[in-house]
Amino acid sequence: MEFEPRDAGLHKPEARMLGDGAVAQIFALQNLGWSIRKIAREVGLSRNTVRDWVRGGPDRSYGNGSRAGLLDRYYFWIQNQFNAGVRNADVLRQELEAIGVSVSLRTVERALRPFRQSYERAEQATVRFETPPGKQMQVDFGEKWLQIGGVRQKRYVFVATLGYSRRCYIEISGSLRQRDWIMGIERAFQHFEGVPEILLTDNAKPLVDRRKAGIPVFHPEFDAFCRHWGTVPRACQPFRAKTKGKVERSVGYAKGNALGREGWESDEALDEHLVWWMLNVADTRIHGTTGERPIDRFPAEKAALRPMGNHPSYLRVRHLSRTVAADGRIDVDTNRYSVPPQFIGATLEVTIEADTIQVFCQDQVIAEHPVHPGRRQVIEDPGHVVSFTNGIARVGKPGEIRRPLSHYAAIVGGEAW
């Protein structure tokens, strides 16, 4: 959401002399090298008017002598900075100095005041968004340091919250890779025994590749996952985390309640505790907003969720296509796995089933590795290294061929929803 001041303080100079936005646009477009004719067409003014303002320069008088007027020409620049999260007056003053504008801190504070007031009004006017049963599930990760096995370690807390019942699913992860997001979401589906219509996320890089004209472009792998399960991905607007406030509150609740104790003997003990906590605490508490227990509201929600049936896990078998780099490795989820060197430059089929990666050439397995849990690691098969070093091609014997690709097609079975 963008915030625009309605009060006195920082004034749009064009509000007094021209139409809304015109003057600031004139000089912004002039700085981009636009012609008078092109600027006039863009802002809807005559060429003479645009030429008059350009000749007068950005420092011409706007008709009042207010100190805030010193920053009038930077109205839209300040608005963009504010909407991007730069809301501290001194930080903004330093940003202004960096572009050659020297003003006092009080001048910047006066300029920011109307934006802050608009922001506060918008926050106070936020209407709680309630969703019908089965409509939406919100997902997010939090971060927390925990004592596990006597060692202080950083863990990531995955939380999925159903929009209507407020039932939540929680698990702990050691990283924030795309695979961790997908595994968490899929296990949440299993926990709730159904799939919601909409999956609401933040703008995490493993999920949202970029934004185009303000519209999120989801990562192809995450988009394929959502299509596999028949749910529609949605990303909240940047800097508007309240869009997914249900899960934001659930993350804080889980970190403070489920993970509030001193420590655990092992990761397994922590996982067991979270299962107990979800069923005996989170599900049975009286929710502060609904005034009901999530478990009591869940039957209506479950009836509206899409049943999972016998639909196979997305992670059970993933099919990828990878080109072997000059160092004899392929990239999978940021890690690099070796293949026999004679395949350098070839495009090979890769399958990921459970915790195993297999690389195929014409239906023959030419490399196999365990899935590495880390990021940006190199995983070598000693046989591949020897082959590469000695220039000897070591291709598996016929008896070493595992399974043809048709085997995995049979496992997946059918088409995605």
Kindly list the structural domains of the chain, giving each domain's residue range(s) and its CATH number in brackets, ordered by start: 14-124 (no CATH), 136-304 (3.30.420.10), 317-412 (no CATH)
What does the alpha-carbon distance between residue 151 and residue 381 come to, in Å, rounded to a whole number? Answer: 32
What does the alpha-carbon distance between residue 62 and residue 354 come to, in Å, rounded to a whole number? Answer: 68
Residues 109, 9 contacting (CB under 8 angstroms) = no
How is residue 30 written in tokens? 């002039």
What does the alpha-carbon distance between residue 390 and residue 412 come to, in Å, rounded to a whole number? Answer: 40
What does the alpha-carbon distance between residue 175 and residue 154 come to, in Å, rounded to a whole number? Answer: 9
For residue 299, the 8-state DSSP code is: H
For residue 281, the 8-state DSSP code is: I
pLDDT tens, position by position, for the chain (417 residues)? 444 454 434 444 443 345 434 666 677 677 777 888 888 777 777 788 888 778 766 555 444 444 446 787 787 788 877 877 777 888 888 888 888 888 888 888 888 888 887 777 665 544 455 789 999 999 999 888 999 988 999 999 999 999 999 999 999 998 888 989 999 999 999 999 999 999 999 888 899 988 877 788 999 889 889 988 999 999 887 655 555 455 556 677 788 778 877 688 888 899 999 999 999 999 998 888 888 999 999 999 999 999 998 888 887 777 788 999 999 999 998 899 999 999 999 999 898 877 899 999 987 899 999 999 888 899 999 888 755 555 444 444 433 434 555 554 554 454 445
Residues 297, 290 contacting (CB under 8 angstroms) = yes
What does the alpha-carbon distance between residue 410 and residue 135 come to, in Å, rounded to a whole number? Answer: 32
Question: Sign (positive/negative) of CA torsion 252, 256, 257, 263?
Answer: positive
What does the alpha-carbon distance between residue 111 and residue 341 come to, in Å, rounded to a whole number? Answer: 63
What does the alpha-carbon distance between residue 282 and residue 161 come to, in Å, rounded to a whole number? Answer: 11
What does the alpha-carbon distance between residue 259 and residue 247 come to, in Å, rounded to a whole number? Answer: 16
Tens-place pLDDT, residues 19-75: 434 666 677 677 777 888 888 777 777 788 888 778 766 555 444 444 446 787 787
Residues 171, 274 contacting (CB under 8 angstroms) = yes
What does the alpha-carbon distance between residue 160 and residue 254 come to, in Å, rounded to a whole number? Answer: 11
Q: CB-based contacts of 71: which residues, under 8 Å, 6+ apart?
A: 10, 78, 96, 101, 103, 107, 108, 111
How is residue 215 written in tokens? 């519209």
